[in-house]
A and B are shown apart, each in its own frame.
Chain A
Amino acid sequence: MTHPVHTPVVAADGGLVRFALADLLAGVPGPMRVELTDAAAAEPWLTRLVGTEHALEALAAGHVDVPARPELAVLALLLWARRWWPASPVLGVPPLDPALLDLEAAVATVAVENVAEGLLDGFEATPAELFDAAVEGIAATAVADEVRGLCLRLSAWFDDQDDVVRAEAAAALAAAASPGQRAYALAAGAEPAASAAGIVAEGRASVDWARVPPGILDAAENTVTWRIVAAPAAARLEVEVAGAFADADLTAFATRDGEVVAEVPLHLGAGRFAGAAELTGSVHIGLIVGVTAEEVIGTTPADRAEVVSLVLAREALPPEARTLAERAVAASAEEEF
């Protein structure tokens, strides 16, 4: 199982550090694999991170398996969640506040810097960039105390780095953090009543997570409905994708024998994407929803079901084993009762 959806990684200078998703989501310490892509660039941090013996092994074999460092594991999980968290009101997986994920990832990046200075290659983001991304989105939150604590830690770290501007911004954010709730704009997806007249074919499909950017669509299966409606000139293909969180350039591609035969541009409506286009020829089509119809290393329904079940099982974890964004969701839910 090497699909990225199962493989949280941290990009290091000259290498990759890989974790098993099941370990990270279950909050159990497992192994991590350090893979080298550029041994010379990696050697300075590698030996410090894994010790002489394992460093030699990695240099000889190109990789080495060692017990996971908690700081790296936490960062890997947060970065994974930013890309693949299967938010789905239908499945009972709540959307996570991206600003809280960013904030916690900024702190996790600092923690990795502290245990392995110079390891991160800055590809995934630096504390400064993550903080900048978070700062715009943090508002009233159910976890204000924790946000305050993280901001103060970041402020101290930025100050230590002589980044006075961000040190002040983080301190100001700490002072401003206030309890409250964040509303998510997922419309319930009330399906408009479709007239049955003239429908010559219809079907359902699922969205491959690998085909859409994160934070756009509900992660559940069978959210796509399509129908072909007879019309005087050419038939029309109508497509609807339920469960939209945000806008993106999405298209539904109708295929026959793997060839794209029609493209339906999708537009964001109230909690859903929809669109229609002309379709000629046979009504036996396949349907792909996403940014592109090109070959991707996709996720299968089994991949997605497994990830969803691992994520749902996190409900049972103690709060400290979950991410700040998840605790915020839990805290809001409690307040509602």
Chain B
Amino acid sequence: MTGSGELRLRSAVLAAAWARIPGVAVLSSADGGPLTRTVKKIIDPLVVRTAARPRLGRPLLEPAAAAELTGLLLADAPRLRATAAWFPHLKRQRRALRITAGNVQDVCFPVAYELATGFGMPGPEAPETAASALRELHGEGEEAGVARLTAYLADPRVAAGLTARLHRRWHAGADTGLAPEDAVVLLGEFVDHLTDAAWLALAGSAAGHAFGLALRRPEGAGTLAEAVPGLPDLGLQRGDRTAVPPLHRRDETGPELLERSVERRVRATLRRLPADERGPVAGLVDDELARVAAGFGLALPALAACFGLGVILAPALRPLDGVAPGDPAFARQLNAQVAREGYVLHARRALAGATPLTRRPDAELVRELREFAKQFLGRLWIRLHGFDVRGDLPAGAAAVRDLVTGVVRSTSLDLRTKVRRALVARLPDLEAVS
């Protein structure tokens, strides 16, 4: 047991570590600690990577986590110093290019860190480098990797060979020896207890893959509906059984998650991996073919299990409608987290047409809010796909819980942005009803 006396506020831990890094004044607040935007745009996502290490992102830190956080920050001190040195260059170029989009710190902090990563301290060519980074950010750069991928897949002989291999693999790995009902039982046990023991049992099993592969059989959708009652349309697949995903993006028949093209999946990989960590395009495509063939399109069994978990939780994620008594406690908690968000309270009435905060209700947005579970699964899959590409695994039950919670939050943030846009400047208030 850890007494609360040992817990420290995260900002105090960050401020203490930050004070030991010289040359970062432009990223610092008047009190000497890092700016809130430095924390949100650089430290959390890029230095600490709280998405992968959620226990370091909590507001109160235990001594071990505080020490780890301090260590990560100090280990990155030279790069942070270089980031601070790049920022004024970006500011100057932003002026010269007359860029007005977004808050200057929000936009330029991550770019400065990226430049610090690629170039170290700015040298004599810094102004030109900063200008081209901003141009690329604001939509003038063409991703070289994507161009190579497009060229590779455009070769008809290559495409024919890849398609044949994809179909062979798709039909080969069709049985894990675990019945879908049993897979759902394993998933359910984990959802109910969220213990490390239950996670180990689940992660070591074929439950995720078995669940995913069940959707490929005739009556696949029916099996799913039986296993998870009350399932809304999750946008996983178009028909009764998962269709073999096409190779090219242009051959996709719809936005369904499990039927996304190989091309789309590899493009995501290209976006996610830093340029120096990407192998040749042919290798990335080959890796992806193996992944596509696995249940839920995720190669690592534990990650497929995480997605299965998402499917089980999905029916309960209805922020506009509130909780149902039969939902698992964890799902109720997630739902409550979103339902409490100001924008949902707002949207529940404003956009569903229940309170006329806008002069014309936005049907599209209401639909998106109603389809929260679908959006959640889409984001969860993308996150897990990223883990799969890098070979990362959640460390234990708490990490899985944090991962799912984090995806719910980012889904929520994304929708909030849309809600906000829809409410336009005439409607500033975020009405809180308790």
Contact = CB atoms under 8 A, between A and B. Distances in A.
Centre residue among A9, A11, A37, A215 by max chain B CB count within 10 A: A11
Contact of A213 (B341, B358, B420): B358
B359 A118 contact: no
B20 interface: no
B145 interface: no
Centre residue among B99, B100, B103, B357 by max chain A CB count within 10 A: B100
Given A43-B59, A83-B428, A4 B433 contact: yes
A148 B50 CA distance: 45
Contacts of A52: 9, 12
Contacts of A129: 425
A133 interface: yes
B355 A296 contact: yes
Contacts of B425: 102, 125, 129-130, 132-133
A294 interface: yes
A164 interface: yes
A48 B98 contact: no
Nearest to B359: A248
Interface stretch (B35-43, B73-81, B389-397): B35-43
B432 A162 contact: no
B356 A292 contact: yes
B361 interface: yes
Interface in B354-396: 354-361
Interface in A280-337: 290-292, 294-297
Interface string A233-259: 000000000000000110000000000
Given A38-B409, A291-B361, A2 B434 contact: yes
A16 B431 CA distance: 10
A105 B428 contact: yes
B354 A83 contact: no
Centre residue among A39, A83, A84, A290 by max chain B CB count within 10 A: A83
A117 B35 CA distance: 7
Contacts of B427: 82-83, 213-214
Nearest to B7: A56
B36 A119 contact: yes
A291 B36 CA distance: 40
B11 interface: yes
Interface string B104-143: 1000000000000000000000000000000000000000
Contacts of A47: 9, 11-12
Contacts of A3: 433
Nearest to B406: A40
B337 to A, nearest CB: 8
Interface in B1-59: 9-12, 14, 29, 31, 33, 35-37, 39-40, 50, 57-59
B98 A9 contact: no
Contacts of A165: 98, 100
A123 B98 CA distance: 25
A154 B37 CA distance: 21
B31 A291 contact: no
A42 interface: yes
Contacts of A214: 426-427
B354 A213 contact: no
A249 B11 contact: no
Contacts of A35: 432
B29 A37 contact: no
Given A7-B432, A9-B431, A48-B11, A123 B426 contact: no
Nearest to B59: A43
A118 B30 CA distance: 13
B349 interface: yes
A46 B59 CA distance: 10
B432 A118 contact: no
A42 B58 CA distance: 10
B103 A83 contact: no
A55 B9 contact: yes
B343 interface: yes
A27 interface: no
Interface string A25-46: 0000000000101111111111
A128 interface: yes
A211 interface: yes
Contacts of A125: 425, 428
A161 B102 CA distance: 10
B357 A45 contact: no
Contact of B342 (A39, A123, A162, A249): A123
Interface in A87-117: 98, 102, 105, 117
B87 to A, nearest CB: 11
A275 to B, nearest CB: 17
A175 B128 CA distance: 35
B428 A4 contact: no
Nearest to A8: B429
A44 B358 contact: no
B60 interface: yes
Centre residue among B39, B352, B354, B416 by max chain A CB count within 10 A: B354
A210 interface: yes
A128 B433 contact: no
A322 to B, nearest CB: 19
Contacts of B36: 44-45, 48, 117-119
B93 to A, nearest CB: 9
B413 to A, nearest CB: 9
A294 B14 CA distance: 49
A163 interface: yes
Contacts of B50: 40
B91 interface: yes
A272 interface: no
B340 interface: yes
Contact of B357 (A8, A117, A213): A213
Contacts of A225: none
A56 to B, nearest CB: 7
Interface in B317-367: 337, 340-343, 349, 352-361
B430 interface: yes
A38 B54 CA distance: 14
Contacts of A124: 428-430
A227 interface: no
B325 to A, nearest CB: 22
A80 B429 contact: yes
Contacts of B358: 213
A107 to B, nearest CB: 14
A162 B37 contact: no
B359 A249 contact: yes
18 contacts: A2-B432, A4-B432, A11-B430, A16-B342, A44-B39, A48-B33, A55-B9, A82-B426, A102-B425, A124-B429, A125-B425, A133-B426, A162-B92, A162-B95, A163-B104, A164-B95, A248-B359, A292-B356
8 nearest A-B residue pairs (beta carbon):
A118-B36, A291-B356, A4-B431, A43-B59, A133-B425, A11-B430, A83-B429, A44-B36
